[in-house]
Chains A and B, each alone.
Chain A
């Protein structure tokens, strides 16, 4: 699966797509593949503050629990409620099935993240 150039990536396998001060966050296709069948997601509430590098929730597959790490700091403006009842959407389309939307505290933080090509290389080397 191609990693969209419009996204930035973390080494913890989250993606973030910014549009001005607002941004959308999800996990990467590599992450969903490594996890296997995703059966549970725990996400913050609208209005919650998330902090770059800190956990903001978790995803669980049948076998494993995985923390989610914030690619950037900000305030949660929307949560993908669909994932509560249909977490398997992440397996189907990891780059479409977003987790949360935030208002970025500092859009400059995204410059520190990996562009698609670098992330792809990182994933290839990790295996």
Chain B
């Protein structure tokens, strides 16, 4: 067992930092943020993960960034910098999308929310906040559109799991049954008027994300009220550990792993969110070429056949032991109770049912290419 890693210099904290510490959370440095990784008092990562799959869990995701684009040319600006077709969004609707470099690789993946007629909110990743903000500013300068970095204005709380809707409904006058997945509304939440409530998340489950003022007092009060209201459902606080295993089971990409500035949209298999028939956008030309040329690697799901857990960065080998790719994310999957991974391999070696090896501490351990997502939530009956 190695010694515990040393703590680091200056890290950023969310408004709920003291709440996490009081709950006894294990904290880690995540992209410069002091974040909870798990709550041993709630049973740890596996218990947190399974609570979200079967009931409800709450996450502090205030480290996520927020960029608002508003004004006459807001739609044109969003269209120019993102790959999905924002013109299809009704007011109150959201879509998964991405910001691309001209070479078709990822600046970041984002959720675009249409707040009003010419008013869009882009929710971006914590680790890419500063880069994204300056990139958005640079690439929208020629549009008549205001760009605001609202990243520090919100405490963002995710309420995730099949019981999330019942939990949040107790605390708001908004009719949540009328809000479909990837739609949003505004309502009073715990007495806070005009709160943005989005039916979105990063867990593969139904759930909501609410955006409230980022002062410590309000944030703490709302977190605690959600927690208390959720007791009848067995709500648990959830950290980044379960957030990662949940999103992995659902094959939701993580920046720096499945997507990055060197991986393009087609390789990542995200072309269904990339609308080539919309007006021109950054990265489009490169993707057109890439599509004609074909990709040399593709993201596949692996399930370990032999004993072993594939981890990020491990090499993928063919049966003869030749290196053919690498693992982007891998873990024990707490709900599926299997060892799963995502990996880049050449398309011809990544067909479903084929077997590969993952190099784990010098040994080739067999894995099978399986359909993804590994987990899909059951349809409501």
Contacts and interface: CB of A to CB of B under 8 A. Distances in A.
Interface in A20-40: 27-28, 31, 33-34, 36-37, 39-40
Contact of B46 (A10, A62, A65, A67): A62
A63 B37 contact: yes
Interface stretch (B81-89, B137-145, B209-217, B304-312): B304-312
Given A36-B44, A62-B245, 11 more contacts: A39-B332, A40-B332, A42-B307, A58-B361, A62-B45, A63-B38, A63-B241, A66-B1, A66-B2, A126-B3, A126-B4
B1 A13 contact: yes
Interface residues of A, number: 29
Interface string B293-335: 0000000000000011101000000000000000000011010
**CB-CB nearest 3 A-B residue pairs:** A13-B1, A39-B332, A62-B45
A69 B334 CA distance: 27
Contacts of A59: 1
B278 interface: no
Nearest to B242: A62
Contacts of A13: 1
> Which secondary structure characterizes the binding site on chain B?
mixed
Given A36-B40, A37-B44, A63-B37, A69 B1 contact: yes
B334 A33 contact: no
Interface footprint category on B: 20 to 34
A1 interface: no
A62 B245 CA distance: 8
A40 B307 contact: yes
Residue of B1, B3, B45 with most partner-chain A CB within 10 A: B1
A59 B1 CA distance: 9
B186 interface: no
A12 B309 contact: no
A60 B309 contact: yes
Contacts of A62: 45-46, 241, 245, 331-332, 334
Nearest to A39: B332
A33 to B, nearest CB: 7
Contact of B311 (A10, A27, A65): A65
Given A58-B361, A62-B45, A63-B37, A40 B1 contact: no
Residue of B26, B38, B309 with most partner-chain A CB within 10 A: B309
B1 A12 contact: yes
Contacts of B45: 36-37, 61-63
Contacts of B245: 62
Interface in B12-44: 26, 37-38, 40, 44
A124 interface: no
Nearest to A11: B3
A63 B26 CA distance: 12
Nearest to A41: B307
Given A36-B241, A40-B332, A62-B331, A67 B2 contact: yes
A19 B164 CA distance: 55
A31 B1 contact: yes
A58 B241 CA distance: 20
Contacts of A58: 361
Contacts of A66: 1-2
Contacts of B241: 36, 62-63
6 contacts: A10-B1, A34-B4, A36-B44, A62-B334, A65-B309, A66-B1
A58 B309 CA distance: 11
Contacts of A37: 44-46, 334
A68 B1 contact: yes
A66 to B, nearest CB: 5
Contact of B1 (A63, A67, A84, A127): A67
Contacts of A11: 3
Contact of A36 (B2, B38, B307, B331): B38
A120 B179 CA distance: 54
A89 B339 CA distance: 19
